[in-house]
A and B are shown apart, each in its own frame.
Chain A
Amino acid sequence: MSRLLEYLPLLMGGALTTVALAVCSALLATTLGLLGAWGKVAGNGLARLAVRIYTTLGRGIPDLVLILLVYFGGQRLINDIGEGLGLPFIEISKFWAGVAAIGVLYGAYLTETFRGAWIAVPRGQAEAARALGMPLRGEFLRVTGPQALRHALPGYGNVWLVLVKSTAVVSVIGLDDLVGLADKAGKSTREPFLFFVVVLLVYLAITAVSDKLLARAERWANTGQDLGRGGGGPRAPAREAAA
Protein backbone atom coordinates (compact mmCIF):
# COMPACT_ATOMS: atom_id res chain seq x y z
CA MET A 1 0.00 0.00 0.00
CA SER A 2 2.83 2.38 0.83
CA ARG A 3 4.09 1.90 -2.71
CA LEU A 4 0.84 3.33 -3.91
CA LEU A 5 1.51 6.65 -2.16
CA GLU A 6 4.92 6.74 -3.79
CA TYR A 7 3.38 6.37 -7.22
CA LEU A 8 0.32 8.50 -6.60
CA PRO A 9 1.67 11.74 -8.16
CA LEU A 10 2.71 9.76 -11.23
CA LEU A 11 -0.73 8.21 -11.56
CA MET A 12 -2.37 11.60 -11.15
CA GLY A 13 -0.33 12.82 -14.10
CA GLY A 14 -1.47 9.79 -16.05
CA ALA A 15 -5.08 10.51 -15.18
CA LEU A 16 -4.63 14.06 -16.47
CA THR A 17 -3.22 12.69 -19.74
CA THR A 18 -6.24 10.39 -20.02
CA VAL A 19 -8.67 13.26 -19.47
CA ALA A 20 -6.80 15.52 -21.91
CA LEU A 21 -6.79 12.72 -24.48
CA ALA A 22 -10.52 12.19 -24.04
CA VAL A 23 -11.34 15.91 -24.27
CA CYS A 24 -9.19 16.50 -27.37
CA SER A 25 -10.62 13.39 -29.08
CA ALA A 26 -14.15 14.50 -28.20
CA LEU A 27 -13.50 17.95 -29.70
CA LEU A 28 -12.27 16.39 -32.93
CA ALA A 29 -15.15 13.91 -32.95
CA THR A 30 -17.68 16.71 -32.38
CA THR A 31 -16.25 18.74 -35.26
CA LEU A 32 -16.29 15.74 -37.60
CA GLY A 33 -19.75 14.74 -36.39
CA LEU A 34 -21.15 18.21 -37.09
CA LEU A 35 -19.53 18.30 -40.53
CA GLY A 36 -20.79 14.80 -41.27
CA ALA A 37 -24.33 15.57 -40.17
CA TRP A 38 -24.28 18.77 -42.20
CA GLY A 39 -23.12 16.86 -45.26
CA LYS A 40 -25.73 14.20 -44.77
CA VAL A 41 -28.60 16.64 -44.26
CA ALA A 42 -27.73 19.47 -46.62
CA GLY A 43 -25.11 18.08 -48.97
CA ASN A 44 -25.47 16.92 -52.56
CA GLY A 45 -25.27 13.30 -53.65
CA LEU A 46 -21.48 13.25 -53.58
CA ALA A 47 -21.27 14.70 -50.07
CA ARG A 48 -23.87 12.25 -48.81
CA LEU A 49 -21.96 9.34 -50.32
CA ALA A 50 -18.71 10.54 -48.74
CA VAL A 51 -20.36 10.83 -45.32
CA ARG A 52 -21.93 7.43 -45.73
CA ILE A 53 -18.57 5.82 -46.50
CA TYR A 54 -17.10 7.63 -43.49
CA THR A 55 -19.76 6.49 -41.04
CA THR A 56 -19.68 2.92 -42.34
CA LEU A 57 -15.90 2.67 -42.10
CA GLY A 58 -15.76 4.50 -38.79
CA ARG A 59 -18.29 2.22 -37.16
CA GLY A 60 -16.89 -0.98 -38.63
CA ILE A 61 -13.29 -0.71 -37.41
CA PRO A 62 -12.31 -1.42 -33.78
CA ASP A 63 -10.56 1.43 -31.97
CA LEU A 64 -7.25 -0.34 -31.37
CA VAL A 65 -6.90 -1.33 -35.04
CA LEU A 66 -7.22 2.30 -36.15
CA ILE A 67 -4.88 3.54 -33.42
CA LEU A 68 -2.17 1.09 -34.49
CA LEU A 69 -2.76 1.93 -38.13
CA VAL A 70 -2.52 5.68 -37.54
CA TYR A 71 0.53 5.40 -35.28
CA PHE A 72 2.66 2.82 -37.08
CA GLY A 73 1.25 3.30 -40.57
CA GLY A 74 1.33 7.07 -40.21
CA GLN A 75 4.92 6.98 -39.01
CA ARG A 76 5.93 4.87 -42.00
CA LEU A 77 4.10 7.22 -44.35
CA ILE A 78 5.79 10.28 -42.89
CA ASN A 79 9.18 8.57 -43.05
CA ASP A 80 8.66 7.69 -46.70
CA ILE A 81 7.54 11.18 -47.61
CA GLY A 82 10.30 12.77 -45.54
CA GLU A 83 12.95 10.58 -47.14
CA GLY A 84 11.70 11.46 -50.59
CA LEU A 85 11.87 15.17 -49.83
CA GLY A 86 15.09 14.94 -47.83
CA LEU A 87 13.47 16.25 -44.64
CA PRO A 88 14.78 15.43 -41.16
CA PHE A 89 13.13 12.58 -39.21
CA ILE A 90 9.79 13.53 -37.73
CA GLU A 91 8.30 11.44 -34.96
CA ILE A 92 4.55 11.10 -34.62
CA SER A 93 3.27 11.97 -31.17
CA LYS A 94 1.54 9.06 -29.45
CA PHE A 95 -0.92 11.44 -27.89
CA TRP A 96 -1.99 13.03 -31.16
CA ALA A 97 -2.08 9.72 -32.99
CA GLY A 98 -4.54 8.57 -30.32
CA VAL A 99 -6.57 11.78 -30.63
CA ALA A 100 -6.71 11.39 -34.42
CA ALA A 101 -7.82 7.75 -34.32
CA ILE A 102 -10.38 8.08 -31.54
CA GLY A 103 -11.67 11.41 -32.84
CA VAL A 104 -12.22 10.00 -36.32
CA LEU A 105 -13.95 6.86 -35.02
CA TYR A 106 -16.35 8.59 -32.67
CA GLY A 107 -16.98 11.35 -35.19
CA ALA A 108 -18.71 8.65 -37.23
CA TYR A 109 -21.01 7.83 -34.31
CA LEU A 110 -21.66 11.50 -33.60
CA THR A 111 -22.58 12.08 -37.24
CA GLU A 112 -25.55 9.79 -36.70
CA THR A 113 -26.36 11.35 -33.32
CA PHE A 114 -26.39 14.89 -34.71
CA ARG A 115 -28.27 13.93 -37.85
CA GLY A 116 -30.93 12.18 -35.79
CA ALA A 117 -31.23 15.18 -33.48
CA TRP A 118 -31.60 17.55 -36.42
CA ILE A 119 -34.26 15.42 -38.06
CA ALA A 120 -36.16 15.19 -34.77
CA VAL A 121 -36.91 18.93 -34.87
CA PRO A 122 -40.30 19.33 -36.58
CA ARG A 123 -40.12 21.15 -39.90
CA GLY A 124 -42.90 23.46 -38.82
CA GLN A 125 -40.52 25.05 -36.33
CA ALA A 126 -38.22 26.28 -39.09
CA GLU A 127 -41.17 27.30 -41.23
CA ALA A 128 -42.73 29.27 -38.40
CA ALA A 129 -39.46 31.10 -37.79
CA ARG A 130 -39.24 31.92 -41.47
CA ALA A 131 -42.87 33.07 -41.52
CA LEU A 132 -42.09 35.43 -38.65
CA GLY A 133 -39.38 36.96 -40.80
CA MET A 134 -36.40 35.55 -38.91
CA PRO A 135 -33.17 35.45 -40.88
CA LEU A 136 -31.60 32.04 -41.43
CA ARG A 137 -29.02 32.64 -38.70
CA GLY A 138 -31.61 33.58 -36.14
CA GLU A 139 -33.71 30.63 -37.10
CA PHE A 140 -30.81 28.28 -36.40
CA LEU A 141 -29.48 30.00 -33.28
CA ARG A 142 -32.79 30.65 -31.58
CA VAL A 143 -35.28 28.08 -32.88
CA THR A 144 -33.99 24.93 -34.51
CA GLY A 145 -30.50 24.79 -32.97
CA PRO A 146 -31.53 24.73 -29.30
CA GLN A 147 -34.18 22.11 -30.02
CA ALA A 148 -31.71 19.90 -31.90
CA LEU A 149 -29.29 20.28 -28.98
CA ARG A 150 -31.94 18.90 -26.68
CA HIS A 151 -32.33 15.82 -28.83
CA ALA A 152 -28.60 15.39 -29.32
CA LEU A 153 -27.53 15.52 -25.68
CA PRO A 154 -28.48 12.01 -24.51
CA GLY A 155 -26.78 10.38 -27.51
CA TYR A 156 -23.81 12.71 -27.18
CA GLY A 157 -23.44 11.75 -23.53
CA ASN A 158 -23.40 8.08 -24.42
CA VAL A 159 -20.73 8.56 -27.07
CA TRP A 160 -18.64 10.57 -24.61
CA LEU A 161 -18.80 7.83 -21.99
CA VAL A 162 -17.80 5.17 -24.52
CA LEU A 163 -15.06 7.43 -25.85
CA VAL A 164 -13.53 7.96 -22.41
CA LYS A 165 -13.17 4.22 -21.94
CA SER A 166 -11.81 3.89 -25.45
CA THR A 167 -8.84 6.11 -24.55
CA ALA A 168 -7.47 3.26 -22.42
CA VAL A 169 -6.29 1.36 -25.50
CA VAL A 170 -3.97 4.20 -26.54
CA SER A 171 -1.68 2.87 -23.82
CA VAL A 172 -0.98 -0.04 -26.18
CA ILE A 173 1.20 2.20 -28.40
CA GLY A 174 3.13 3.24 -25.29
CA LEU A 175 1.37 6.44 -24.25
CA ASP A 176 1.94 7.19 -20.57
CA ASP A 177 -1.71 7.63 -19.75
CA LEU A 178 -3.37 6.24 -16.64
CA VAL A 179 -3.39 2.64 -17.89
CA GLY A 180 0.12 2.79 -19.34
CA LEU A 181 1.64 4.18 -16.14
CA ALA A 182 -0.29 1.79 -13.91
CA ASP A 183 1.00 -1.07 -16.04
CA LYS A 184 4.59 0.09 -15.56
CA ALA A 185 4.10 0.77 -11.84
CA GLY A 186 2.48 -2.64 -11.40
CA LYS A 187 5.38 -4.37 -13.10
CA SER A 188 8.11 -2.61 -11.17
CA THR A 189 6.44 -3.04 -7.76
CA ARG A 190 5.07 -6.51 -8.57
CA GLU A 191 1.70 -5.34 -7.33
CA PRO A 192 -0.27 -5.04 -10.59
CA PHE A 193 -3.58 -5.85 -8.92
CA LEU A 194 -3.39 -2.82 -6.66
CA PHE A 195 -2.55 -0.44 -9.47
CA PHE A 196 -5.22 -1.72 -11.84
CA VAL A 197 -7.83 -1.42 -9.10
CA VAL A 198 -6.80 2.23 -8.78
CA VAL A 199 -7.15 2.62 -12.57
CA LEU A 200 -10.67 1.20 -12.49
CA LEU A 201 -11.63 3.52 -9.63
CA VAL A 202 -10.31 6.58 -11.46
CA TYR A 203 -12.30 5.68 -14.58
CA LEU A 204 -15.35 5.09 -12.42
CA ALA A 205 -14.88 8.56 -10.94
CA ILE A 206 -14.58 10.12 -14.41
CA THR A 207 -17.78 8.33 -15.45
CA ALA A 208 -19.60 9.45 -12.32
CA VAL A 209 -18.58 13.10 -12.76
CA SER A 210 -19.55 12.95 -16.45
CA ASP A 211 -22.92 11.52 -15.47
CA LYS A 212 -23.61 14.41 -13.14
CA LEU A 213 -22.54 17.04 -15.66
CA LEU A 214 -24.52 15.42 -18.47
CA ALA A 215 -27.63 15.18 -16.34
CA ARG A 216 -27.25 18.87 -15.51
CA ALA A 217 -26.73 19.77 -19.18
CA GLU A 218 -29.82 17.82 -20.14
CA ARG A 219 -31.87 19.56 -17.47
CA TRP A 220 -30.66 22.88 -18.80
CA ALA A 221 -31.38 21.98 -22.43
CA ASN A 222 -34.84 20.72 -21.50
CA THR A 223 -35.81 23.93 -19.76
CA GLY A 224 -39.42 24.72 -20.55
CA GLN A 225 -40.11 21.32 -22.07
CA ASP A 226 -43.02 19.32 -20.78
CA LEU A 227 -41.43 15.91 -20.41
CA GLY A 228 -44.34 14.30 -18.62
CA ARG A 229 -42.11 12.16 -16.46
CA GLY A 230 -39.78 14.78 -15.06
CA GLY A 231 -36.34 14.38 -16.60
CA GLY A 232 -34.58 11.49 -18.14
CA GLY A 233 -33.78 9.54 -15.00
CA PRO A 234 -30.34 8.27 -14.05
CA ARG A 235 -27.89 7.91 -16.89
CA ALA A 236 -25.44 5.15 -17.40
CA PRO A 237 -22.90 4.60 -20.14
CA ALA A 238 -24.44 2.74 -23.02
CA ARG A 239 -23.04 1.43 -26.24
CA GLU A 240 -23.91 3.39 -29.31
CA ALA A 241 -25.62 1.95 -32.32
CA ALA A 242 -23.14 0.27 -34.62
CA ALA A 243 -23.07 0.09 -38.40
Chain B
Amino acid sequence: MDLSLPLRHWEMFLHGVWVSMTLTVLSVVIGFALALPGALAQQRRSRFAFLPRGYAYFFRGTPLLAQTFLIYYGLGQFEVVRESWAWVFLKEAWWCALIAFSLNSGAYQTEILRGAFAMTPKGELEGAKALGLSERQTTWLVLLPSSLRRAMPQYGNEVVFQLHSSVVASVITIQDILGAGRTLNARYYVAYEGFVTAAVLYMALTFLLVGLFRLLERRYLRHLLPPEELRKLQKAGAGAAAFGTARV
Protein backbone atom coordinates (compact mmCIF):
# COMPACT_ATOMS: atom_id res chain seq x y z
CA MET B 1 0.00 0.00 0.00
CA ASP B 2 1.30 3.39 -0.97
CA LEU B 3 0.10 5.86 1.63
CA SER B 4 1.55 8.85 -0.14
CA LEU B 5 -0.95 8.39 -2.96
CA PRO B 6 -4.09 9.45 -1.06
CA LEU B 7 -2.05 12.09 0.78
CA ARG B 8 -0.99 13.63 -2.50
CA HIS B 9 -4.65 13.79 -3.50
CA TRP B 10 -6.04 14.98 -0.19
CA GLU B 11 -7.97 17.74 -1.89
CA MET B 12 -10.00 15.21 -3.84
CA PHE B 13 -10.87 13.35 -0.64
CA LEU B 14 -11.63 16.55 1.23
CA HIS B 15 -14.03 17.50 -1.53
CA GLY B 16 -15.50 13.99 -1.22
CA VAL B 17 -16.05 14.50 2.51
CA TRP B 18 -17.83 17.76 1.75
CA VAL B 19 -20.07 16.11 -0.87
CA SER B 20 -20.91 13.15 1.38
CA MET B 21 -21.63 15.32 4.38
CA THR B 22 -23.79 17.83 2.51
CA LEU B 23 -25.80 15.04 0.90
CA THR B 24 -26.24 13.38 4.29
CA VAL B 25 -27.20 16.49 6.22
CA LEU B 26 -29.48 17.90 3.51
CA SER B 27 -31.29 14.60 3.04
CA VAL B 28 -31.89 14.24 6.78
CA VAL B 29 -33.19 17.83 6.99
CA ILE B 30 -35.44 17.48 3.93
CA GLY B 31 -36.45 14.04 5.16
CA PHE B 32 -37.58 15.59 8.43
CA ALA B 33 -39.79 18.05 6.56
CA LEU B 34 -41.28 15.12 4.62
CA ALA B 35 -41.73 12.96 7.71
CA LEU B 36 -43.27 15.42 10.14
CA PRO B 37 -46.71 15.88 8.50
CA GLY B 38 -47.04 12.15 7.94
CA ALA B 39 -46.10 11.26 11.48
CA LEU B 40 -48.49 13.89 12.84
CA ALA B 41 -51.27 12.55 10.64
CA GLN B 42 -50.72 9.11 12.11
CA GLN B 43 -50.59 10.45 15.65
CA ARG B 44 -53.91 12.24 15.13
CA ARG B 45 -55.38 9.15 13.48
CA SER B 46 -56.23 11.18 10.41
CA ARG B 47 -58.28 9.66 7.62
CA PHE B 48 -55.24 10.06 5.38
CA ALA B 49 -52.84 8.31 7.74
CA PHE B 50 -52.64 5.44 5.25
CA LEU B 51 -50.68 7.69 2.89
CA PRO B 52 -47.62 8.24 5.11
CA ARG B 53 -47.88 4.63 6.26
CA GLY B 54 -47.73 3.40 2.67
CA TYR B 55 -44.92 5.83 1.85
CA ALA B 56 -42.83 4.62 4.78
CA TYR B 57 -43.54 0.97 4.00
CA PHE B 58 -42.55 1.33 0.36
CA PHE B 59 -39.31 3.23 0.90
CA ARG B 60 -38.23 1.18 3.92
CA GLY B 61 -38.92 -2.07 2.17
CA THR B 62 -36.81 -1.42 -0.93
CA PRO B 63 -33.08 -0.80 -1.45
CA LEU B 64 -31.86 2.77 -1.80
CA LEU B 65 -29.75 1.81 -4.82
CA ALA B 66 -32.84 0.73 -6.76
CA GLN B 67 -34.72 3.87 -5.70
CA THR B 68 -31.83 6.02 -6.88
CA PHE B 69 -31.63 4.16 -10.20
CA LEU B 70 -35.37 4.57 -10.68
CA ILE B 71 -35.08 8.33 -10.32
CA TYR B 72 -31.77 8.81 -12.13
CA TYR B 73 -32.16 6.39 -15.04
CA GLY B 74 -35.88 5.68 -14.91
CA LEU B 75 -37.43 9.13 -15.03
CA GLY B 76 -35.35 10.18 -18.04
CA GLN B 77 -37.17 7.56 -20.08
CA PHE B 78 -40.28 9.75 -20.33
CA GLU B 79 -40.38 12.59 -22.80
CA VAL B 80 -42.80 14.51 -20.56
CA VAL B 81 -40.13 14.58 -17.87
CA ARG B 82 -37.35 15.52 -20.25
CA GLU B 83 -39.32 18.45 -21.60
CA SER B 84 -40.52 19.74 -18.25
CA TRP B 85 -38.87 22.35 -16.06
CA ALA B 86 -37.88 19.59 -13.62
CA TRP B 87 -35.41 18.18 -16.12
CA VAL B 88 -32.94 20.91 -15.17
CA PHE B 89 -32.62 19.05 -11.85
CA LEU B 90 -33.43 15.50 -12.84
CA LYS B 91 -30.66 15.28 -15.41
CA GLU B 92 -28.11 16.07 -12.70
CA ALA B 93 -26.88 13.07 -10.71
CA TRP B 94 -26.48 15.19 -7.56
CA TRP B 95 -30.12 16.30 -7.52
CA CYS B 96 -31.34 12.77 -8.22
CA ALA B 97 -29.26 11.47 -5.33
CA LEU B 98 -30.57 14.20 -3.04
CA ILE B 99 -34.18 13.45 -4.02
CA ALA B 100 -33.75 9.70 -3.53
CA PHE B 101 -31.87 10.06 -0.23
CA SER B 102 -34.40 12.56 1.13
CA LEU B 103 -37.36 10.36 0.26
CA ASN B 104 -35.57 7.40 1.82
CA SER B 105 -34.59 9.20 4.99
CA GLY B 106 -38.07 10.73 5.23
CA ALA B 107 -39.56 7.24 5.30
CA TYR B 108 -37.32 6.15 8.16
CA GLN B 109 -37.94 9.38 10.02
CA THR B 110 -41.70 8.94 9.63
CA GLU B 111 -41.34 5.73 11.62
CA ILE B 112 -38.97 7.28 14.17
CA LEU B 113 -41.30 10.23 14.79
CA ARG B 114 -44.43 8.10 14.79
CA GLY B 115 -42.86 5.87 17.43
CA ALA B 116 -41.73 8.84 19.52
CA PHE B 117 -45.18 10.46 19.30
CA ALA B 118 -46.85 7.24 20.35
CA MET B 119 -44.58 7.04 23.41
CA THR B 120 -45.54 10.51 24.66
CA PRO B 121 -46.77 10.17 28.25
CA LYS B 122 -50.51 10.71 28.29
CA GLY B 123 -50.22 13.14 31.19
CA GLU B 124 -48.24 15.59 29.07
CA LEU B 125 -51.01 15.85 26.52
CA GLU B 126 -53.70 15.96 29.20
CA GLY B 127 -51.77 18.68 30.96
CA ALA B 128 -51.66 20.69 27.76
CA LYS B 129 -55.39 20.25 27.37
CA ALA B 130 -56.03 21.27 30.98
CA LEU B 131 -54.02 24.45 30.39
CA GLY B 132 -56.27 25.23 27.45
CA LEU B 133 -53.59 24.93 24.77
CA SER B 134 -54.88 24.69 21.22
CA GLU B 135 -54.03 21.68 19.11
CA ARG B 136 -51.32 23.60 17.28
CA GLN B 137 -49.82 24.84 20.55
CA THR B 138 -49.90 21.33 21.97
CA THR B 139 -48.06 20.03 18.93
CA TRP B 140 -45.33 22.66 18.90
CA LEU B 141 -44.91 23.26 22.62
CA VAL B 142 -45.51 19.84 24.11
CA LEU B 143 -45.60 16.95 21.66
CA LEU B 144 -42.63 17.87 19.47
CA PRO B 145 -40.08 18.98 22.10
CA SER B 146 -40.87 15.95 24.22
CA SER B 147 -40.82 13.48 21.32
CA LEU B 148 -37.70 14.85 19.64
CA ARG B 149 -35.80 14.37 22.87
CA ARG B 150 -36.98 10.81 23.08
CA ALA B 151 -36.13 10.18 19.43
CA MET B 152 -32.60 11.50 19.78
CA PRO B 153 -30.78 8.16 20.03
CA GLN B 154 -32.63 6.92 16.94
CA TYR B 155 -31.78 10.14 15.17
CA GLY B 156 -28.13 9.48 15.87
CA ASN B 157 -28.48 6.11 14.17
CA GLU B 158 -30.44 7.59 11.32
CA VAL B 159 -27.74 10.16 10.51
CA VAL B 160 -24.97 7.55 10.63
CA PHE B 161 -27.00 5.25 8.42
CA GLN B 162 -27.74 8.04 6.02
CA LEU B 163 -24.01 8.72 5.75
CA HIS B 164 -23.33 5.05 5.07
CA SER B 165 -26.16 4.88 2.54
CA SER B 166 -24.83 7.92 0.73
CA VAL B 167 -22.11 5.74 -0.85
CA VAL B 168 -24.78 4.94 -3.43
CA ALA B 169 -24.07 8.42 -4.84
CA SER B 170 -20.71 7.22 -6.15
CA VAL B 171 -22.52 4.65 -8.30
CA ILE B 172 -24.24 7.42 -10.26
CA THR B 173 -20.94 9.24 -10.93
CA ILE B 174 -20.97 11.62 -7.94
CA GLN B 175 -17.53 12.37 -6.51
CA ASP B 176 -18.30 11.71 -2.86
CA ILE B 177 -15.78 10.01 -0.53
CA LEU B 178 -16.09 6.64 -2.22
CA GLY B 179 -16.17 8.36 -5.62
CA ALA B 180 -12.81 9.93 -4.82
CA GLY B 181 -11.48 6.52 -3.79
CA ARG B 182 -12.67 4.90 -7.00
CA THR B 183 -11.20 7.70 -9.10
CA LEU B 184 -7.85 7.31 -7.34
CA ASN B 185 -7.83 3.56 -7.88
CA ALA B 186 -8.75 3.87 -11.53
CA ARG B 187 -6.22 6.61 -12.25
CA TYR B 188 -3.25 4.79 -10.71
CA TYR B 189 -4.46 1.27 -11.36
CA VAL B 190 -4.24 0.33 -7.67
CA ALA B 191 -6.66 -1.82 -5.68
CA TYR B 192 -6.36 -0.84 -2.04
CA GLU B 193 -5.39 2.79 -1.55
CA GLY B 194 -8.59 4.52 -2.63
CA PHE B 195 -10.98 2.12 -0.89
CA VAL B 196 -8.98 1.94 2.34
CA THR B 197 -8.79 5.74 2.48
CA ALA B 198 -12.54 5.92 1.91
CA ALA B 199 -13.15 3.33 4.64
CA VAL B 200 -11.00 5.29 7.10
CA LEU B 201 -12.78 8.55 6.28
CA TYR B 202 -16.24 7.00 6.66
CA MET B 203 -15.17 5.50 9.95
CA ALA B 204 -13.83 8.84 11.19
CA LEU B 205 -17.05 10.62 10.21
CA THR B 206 -19.09 7.89 11.89
CA PHE B 207 -17.18 8.42 15.14
CA LEU B 208 -17.61 12.15 14.81
CA LEU B 209 -21.37 11.85 14.38
CA VAL B 210 -21.72 9.28 17.16
CA GLY B 211 -19.72 11.54 19.48
CA LEU B 212 -21.78 14.57 18.52
CA PHE B 213 -25.02 12.78 19.29
CA ARG B 214 -23.61 11.49 22.55
CA LEU B 215 -23.00 15.11 23.56
CA LEU B 216 -26.50 16.10 22.50
CA GLU B 217 -27.98 13.20 24.45
CA ARG B 218 -25.98 14.14 27.53
CA ARG B 219 -27.53 17.56 27.33
CA TYR B 220 -31.07 16.83 26.26
CA LEU B 221 -31.57 13.46 27.92
CA ARG B 222 -29.80 14.46 31.12
CA HIS B 223 -32.85 13.50 33.16
CA LEU B 224 -32.38 9.92 32.01
CA LEU B 225 -28.72 9.61 33.01
CA PRO B 226 -27.96 7.06 35.70
CA PRO B 227 -27.42 8.82 39.08
CA GLU B 228 -23.68 8.10 39.32
CA GLU B 229 -23.09 9.61 35.86
CA LEU B 230 -25.05 12.67 36.87
CA ARG B 231 -23.01 13.07 40.04
CA LYS B 232 -19.84 12.92 37.98
CA LEU B 233 -21.19 15.64 35.76
CA GLN B 234 -22.12 17.85 38.67
CA LYS B 235 -18.72 17.37 40.23
CA ALA B 236 -17.11 18.49 37.02
CA GLY B 237 -19.18 21.65 37.29
CA ALA B 238 -20.36 21.18 33.77
CA GLY B 239 -23.93 22.15 34.53
CA ALA B 240 -23.71 25.74 33.43
CA ALA B 241 -21.94 25.38 30.12
CA ALA B 242 -24.07 24.47 27.14
CA PHE B 243 -21.81 21.70 25.91
CA GLY B 244 -19.62 21.50 28.96
CA THR B 245 -20.48 17.83 29.30
CA ALA B 246 -17.88 17.17 26.62
CA ARG B 247 -15.19 17.06 29.25
CA VAL B 248 -16.57 14.03 31.01
Residues of chain A at the chain B interface (Cβ within 8 Å): 57, 59-66, 68-69, 72-73, 75-77, 161, 165-169, 171-172, 179, 182-183, 186-187, 190-194, 196-197, 199-200, 203-204, 207-208, 236-243
Contact = CB atoms under 8 A, between A and B. Distances in A.
B173 interface: no
B168 A169 contact: yes
Contacts of B43: none
Nearest to B205: A60
A19 B147 CA distance: 38
Contacts of B157: 239-242
B69 A72 contact: no
30 contacts: A60-B202, A60-B207, A61-B199, A62-B164, A62-B165, A62-B202, A63-B164, A63-B167, A65-B178, A65-B195, A68-B182, A72-B185, A75-B191, A77-B191, A161-B61, A166-B63, A169-B168, A183-B69, A187-B73, A193-B75, A194-B77, A200-B66, A203-B62, A204-B58, A204-B61, A236-B57, A237-B60, A239-B108, A240-B157, A242-B164
Interface string B49-68: 00000001110111111110
B69 A196 contact: yes
Given A192-B77, A200-B66, A242-B157, 11 more contacts: A59-B206, A61-B199, A68-B195, A69-B192, A169-B167, A193-B74, A200-B58, A204-B58, A207-B62, A208-B61, A236-B61
Nearest to A197: B70
Given A63-B164, A69-B196, A192-B74, A243 B158 contact: no
A190 B74 CA distance: 9
Interface string B66-101: 110110011111100000000000000000000000
A74 to B, nearest CB: 8
Interface of B: 56-58, 60-67, 69-70, 73-78, 108, 111, 156-158, 160-161, 163-168, 170-171, 178, 181-182, 185, 191-192, 195-196, 198-199, 202-203, 206-207, 210
Contact of B111 (A72, A76, A207, A236): A236
B69 A204 contact: no
A64 B157 CA distance: 18
B77 A65 contact: no
B76 to A, nearest CB: 8
B57 A57 contact: no
Contacts of A236: 56-57, 60-61, 111
A62 B170 CA distance: 12
Contacts of B192: 69, 73, 76
Contacts of B160: 242-243
A177 to B, nearest CB: 11
Nearest to A18: B63
B61 A192 contact: no
A26 to B, nearest CB: 16
A76 B188 CA distance: 14
Given A62-B178, A193-B75, A242-B157, A204 B167 contact: no
A31 to B, nearest CB: 23
B164 A193 contact: no
B65 A179 contact: yes
B135 to A, nearest CB: 27
Given A204-B58, A238-B111, A165 B63 contact: yes
B77 A193 contact: yes
Contacts of A166: 63
Contacts of B70: 192-193, 196-197, 199-200
A61 B202 contact: yes
A47 B178 CA distance: 32
B119 to A, nearest CB: 13
Contact of A203 (B61, B74, B77): B61
